[in-house]
Structure 1
Amino acid sequence: MTLGHYIKQLRTTANMSQPQLAEKMGVEQSYLSKLENDKSVPSNEVFRQLLDALELTVDNFMLGAQGQANKHHFSQIPDIESWYARQFRDNSIKQRTLLYIAILLVSLGGSCFYVGFQNLVFPQKLYEYESKGVVLPNEPQDVFSSWSRFVPEDANMEEARRTMLKRRDISIVLSFEYLGDEFIKEVEQGRRLYTMSKYVKQQTRLGNALLQFLGLACVLLGVALMIIEPRLTRSKV
């Protein structure tokens, strides 16, 4: 669409005749006729008079020509040329911002997926520690496994065995953190010796699955943003 055709379209939309618009602009009707027939290009001053007469801003004027304006023809007016330059600058900033966001999403998503896949935040190795009972003060740590070595020679072994069986009180501690092959925990009547089981269990944790899902979602969103970015930043005028 040419500039002259667009001026005529705006005048018609405003329900104004050529004489009426020419009078409001302060120009001759014959000159306005030349403008509408693309036989003349308005100066910047005349263009501003046109905007005042139609009660439009440059933004309103240009947005009304979305997708139809002949850029080369319209850009002959300095105010419109400046408008195009501003649009290009704003569009470039928007384009860079979207690309930065897309790159950030892909980077963040990749990191989240890796952390979840490698179980770096939520370990999946489950360590099992077992204590056979409470070790009383002044008793050796291995009293439950080697109690017979500490029974006096003149004592009744069977009675000592029954006593130790009564004292057996199995306690299990499960931990995703490695606490060593064994550790001691103080309790009310003495202390407990916890020894790690020979087998380490693998326990699936929801946190790792969520991190992988979140990471994959961010990567896909970032890639999608890169693909549609040209459409989002494409100039409509």
Structure 2
Amino acid sequence: MMKFGDYLRQAREARHWTQPEAAARAGIEQSYLSKLETGKSYPSDDVFGRLVKAYEIDVKNLVRDLDPGEAEALRDIESLRATRLTLHRTAQRLSRGWMLAGLACLVIGGGSTGAALTASDTSHEEYIYLSRGVIAPGEPFDVFDLVGVPLGRAPAVVADMRAQQIALQDRIDEEVRIQRAMQGEGYFETVEGGRRYFRALDSQTVIERSPLRWFWVPGLMFLFGALGCFTISWRWK
């Protein structure tokens, strides 16, 4: 913030004008310009218009830079008064706009945060079943268990079991089923070439996180946004 006289002096010096030269361009006396620059006098409406034209002053920037007390001293100048009123109304509209934006962010942020706070997780049991391969017609449901059976000592029995184990190993095609409904110790399913036996292997508890927990992120963002909007609205005012 600055005084009107300082503003005139800086504007003149920025153009590298002497006081006599600046006074001549504005069509006023040098002594009068000197009083204006030292704050001993204030211009009339007509003189202010001359200074604005000579110095190419942006009245809006002048109003923004002037000390409030100086602006009050220049209240009789019509163009300054009109500009101050326009800027004031513009600032009010912007301030109200930022205030409304802040309120909207506050409502959205509060709602999102509330949803995140009240969110609850759910859980359910899952049952894991394993089928080791396709059981041919006429074979027992546990035929593939033979693969893990230790071999006996009799050479003939060992050779026969070894041959069966090798044949079964080539047919092993494991398939895992995870489902919510429990099917007891096991269940059959007809497939091409025979059937599969799915034996209960394990169970697990699955916790499903509520998607509302993600509302923490937008909730906090909107709340901080509301704080920023209110700050801007206050500063603009």
1:218 aligns with 2:218: no
Q: Could you tell which deviates more after superposition, 19-28 or 110-119? A: 110-119
Unaligned runs of 5+ in 1: 134-161, 175-179, 182-186, 190-198
Q: For the residues of structure 1 that align with 2:15 and 2:7, how far apart are their CA atoms?
A: 12
Q: CA deviation at 1:68?
A: 7.2
Partner of 2:75: 75
CA contact (8 A) 2:3 2:66 kept: no
Query: SS where residue 172 of structure 1 aligns?
Result: strand
Q: CA deviation at 1:46?
A: 2.5
CA contact (8 A) 1:126 1:203 kept: yes
Q: For the residues of structure 2 that align with 1:42 and 1:188, how far apart are their CA atoms?
A: 103
Q: For the residues of structure 1 that align with 2:191 and 2:102, how far apart are their CA atoms?
A: 58
Question: RMSD value over aligned CA atoms?
Answer: 4.3
> In the superposition, relative to structure 1, how do residues 202 and 132 fare at CA in structure 2: closer, same or farther (>3 Å)?
closer
> In the superposition, relative to structure 1, how do residues 130 and 23 fare at CA in structure 2: closer, same or farther (>3 Å)?
same
Identical positions, percent: 20
Amino acid at match of 1:210: W
Q: For the residues of structure 1 that align with 2:68 and 2:13, how far apart are their CA atoms?
A: 17
Amino acid at match of 1:38: K
TM-score (norm 1): 0.58
Q: For the residues of structure 2 that align with 1:35 and 1:212, how far apart are their CA atoms?
A: 60
After superposition, give the CA deviation of every residue in 1:138-170 in whole Å (9 maximum; x if it has no partner): xxxxxxxxxxxxxxxxxxxxxxxx96778xx98
Q: CA deviation at 1:94?
A: 1.6
Query: SS where residue 38 of structure 1 aligns?
Result: coil
Match of 2:213 among 209, 212, 219: 209
TM-score (norm 2): 0.58
Q: For the residues of structure 2 that align with 1:46 and 1:188, how far apart are their CA atoms?
A: 102
Partner of 1:46: 47
Q: For the residues of structure 2 that align with 1:40 and 1:224, how far apart are their CA atoms?
A: 40
Q: For the residues of structure 2 that align with 1:4 and 1:227, how far apart are their CA atoms?
A: 33
Q: For the residues of structure 1 that align with 2:117 and 2:142, how far apart are their CA atoms?
A: 45
Q: For the residues of structure 1 that align with 2:66 and 2:214, how far apart are their CA atoms?
A: 44
CA contact (8 A) 1:112 1:211 kept: yes
Based on CA coordinates, which of the two structures has the bigger radius of gyration? 2
> In the superposition, relative to structure 1, how do residues 70 and 39 fare at CA in structure 2: closer, same or farther (>3 Å)?
closer
Q: Which structure's residues are more often helix, by fraction?
A: 2
CA contact (8 A) 1:105 1:218 kept: yes
Q: For the residues of structure 2 that align with 1:39 and 1:56, how far apart are their CA atoms?
A: 19
Unaligned runs of 5+ in 2: 131-138, 144-174, 183-189, 193-203
1:57 aligns with 2:29: no
